[in-house]
């Protein structure tokens, strides 16, 4: 029997004297005092740990509030600067078109070429502004999520890209039926379309492009994967590809058309649904973009917060 479980008083028979009882009582009092001291120390330790836990919880709540505030400021800045840039870009394009249209033969070839270049840059600027506005809208839930056949959404995305897949001989396969998930259908379709379009753009030149879409049902929802056999992404760039306007810069990607917004939009949509997205890739082998769609979706934002 351990000391902690040792009885405080032992049974005593008729031959036990007063001195024995006194000794037993003294031992009991000492043991009780020892236990009370030990209990007090445990209570003090528990109080200290509780205080640390409370402080950590408050710190985490403060960090979450700060993060929420920073994200709201970022989105507001994004919307404001995009909106404010639209009018000047349209104005430049309009003036360039007017000068070219009414300048006629008076414009030299050099002047016309430079005006065309300025006009093209102005239109590109407008495209970037529109992409920023679209991206800011993706950060907010619009239509309520609903149970949707993700396979039908993937098929719709495949059909949208039919011209590209036929032109480049791309093979897209869905080996098994995809699950029903709770989502915004138009947004999840955009996720499939952007990931497929990205795989087609960055296909390898020495082999036929093959893309596979799979899904696995988990207790938390569903985990999707879009796998390709393209050029792959360098390890140092893999955590950057979801950034706005970020594009991997090397000789292979230099001639690929794009603005670096597609994957940023995918990340925004997935996170708005409460999921996560990541990429595993090897240069020369291909990439696997994986994302999750939870069973339960976050509550929709106030509709008055939607952009007009």
In this prediction, residue 68 carries a pLDDT of 75
Distance CA 24, CA 28 (A): 6
CA distances 131 to 136, 227, 277, Å, are 9, 26, 20
In this prediction, residue 125 carries a pLDDT of 74
Report the SS3 class of residue 252: coil
**How is residue 42 written in tokens?**
């445990």
CA distances 111 to 88, 92, 107, 130, Å, are 22, 16, 6, 29
Distance CA 20, CA 148 (A): 82
In this prediction, residue 303 carries a pLDDT of 38
In this prediction, residue 301 carries a pLDDT of 47
CA proximity to 203, closest of 165, 156, 235, 234: 165
In this prediction, residue 136 carries a pLDDT of 63
Strands (E), 62-209: 146-149, 171-173, 180-183
CB 294 within 8 A of CB 270: no
In this prediction, residue 291 carries a pLDDT of 97
Distance CA 226, CA 174 (A): 10
- pLDDT digits over 69-121, tens only? 776 776 676 667 666 666 777 778 888 888 888 777 778 888 888 888 888 77
Three state DSSP letters for 161-189:
CHHHHHHHCCEEECCCCCCEEEECHHHHH
Q: Which residues pair with 211 in a beta bridge?
A: 172, 228
In this prediction, residue 88 carries a pLDDT of 76
In this prediction, residue 251 carries a pLDDT of 53
Distance CA 183, CA 221 (A): 11
Q: What is the DSSP letter of 246?
A: -
How many Cβ atoms are within 10 Å of 166's Cβ, its own excluded?
Answer: 9
In this prediction, residue 70 carries a pLDDT of 72
Low-confidence ranges of the chain (pLDDT < 70): 1-17, 71, 74-75, 77-79, 81-86, 128, 131-143, 245-260, 296-308
């Amino acid at each position: 029997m351990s000391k902690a479980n040792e009885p405080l008083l032992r049974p005593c028979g008729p031959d036990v004297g007063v001195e024995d009882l006194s000794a037993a009582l003294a031992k009991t009092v000492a043991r009780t005092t020892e236990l009370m001291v030990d209990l007090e120390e445990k209570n003090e330790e528990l109080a200290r740990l509780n205080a640390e836990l409370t402080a950590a919880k408050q710190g985490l709540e403060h960090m979450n509030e700060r993060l929420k505030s920073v994200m709201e400021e970022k989105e507001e800045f994004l919307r404001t600067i995009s909106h404010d840039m639209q009018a000047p870009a349209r104005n430049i394009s309009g003036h360039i078109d007017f000068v070219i249209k009414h300048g006629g033969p008076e414009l030299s070839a050099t002047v016309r070429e430079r005006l065309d270049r300025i006009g093209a840059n102005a239109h590109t600027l407008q495209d970037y502004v529109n992409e920023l506005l679209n991206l800011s809208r993706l950060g907010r839930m619009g239509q309520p999520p609903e149970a949707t056949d993700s396979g039908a959404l993937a098929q719709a995305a495949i059909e949208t890209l039919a011209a590209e897949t036929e032109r480049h001989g791309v093979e897209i396969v869905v080996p098994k039926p995809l699950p029903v998930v709770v989502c915004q259908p138009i947004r999840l379709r955009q996720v499939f379309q952007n990931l497929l379009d990205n795989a087609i753009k960055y296909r390898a030149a020495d082999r036929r492009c093959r893309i596979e879409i799979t899904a696995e049902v988990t207790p938390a929802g569903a985990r999707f994967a879009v796998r390709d056999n393209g050029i792959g992404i360098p390890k140092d760039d893999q955590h950057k590809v979801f950034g706005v306007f970020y594009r991997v810069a090397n000789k292979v990607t230099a001639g690929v058309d794009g603005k670096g917004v597609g994957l940023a939009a995918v990340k925004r949509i997935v996170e708005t649904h409460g999921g996560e997205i990541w990429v595993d890739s090897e240069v020369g082998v291909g990439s696997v973009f994986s994302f999750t769609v939870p069973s339960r979706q976050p509550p929709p934002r106030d509709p008055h917060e939607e952009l007009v």
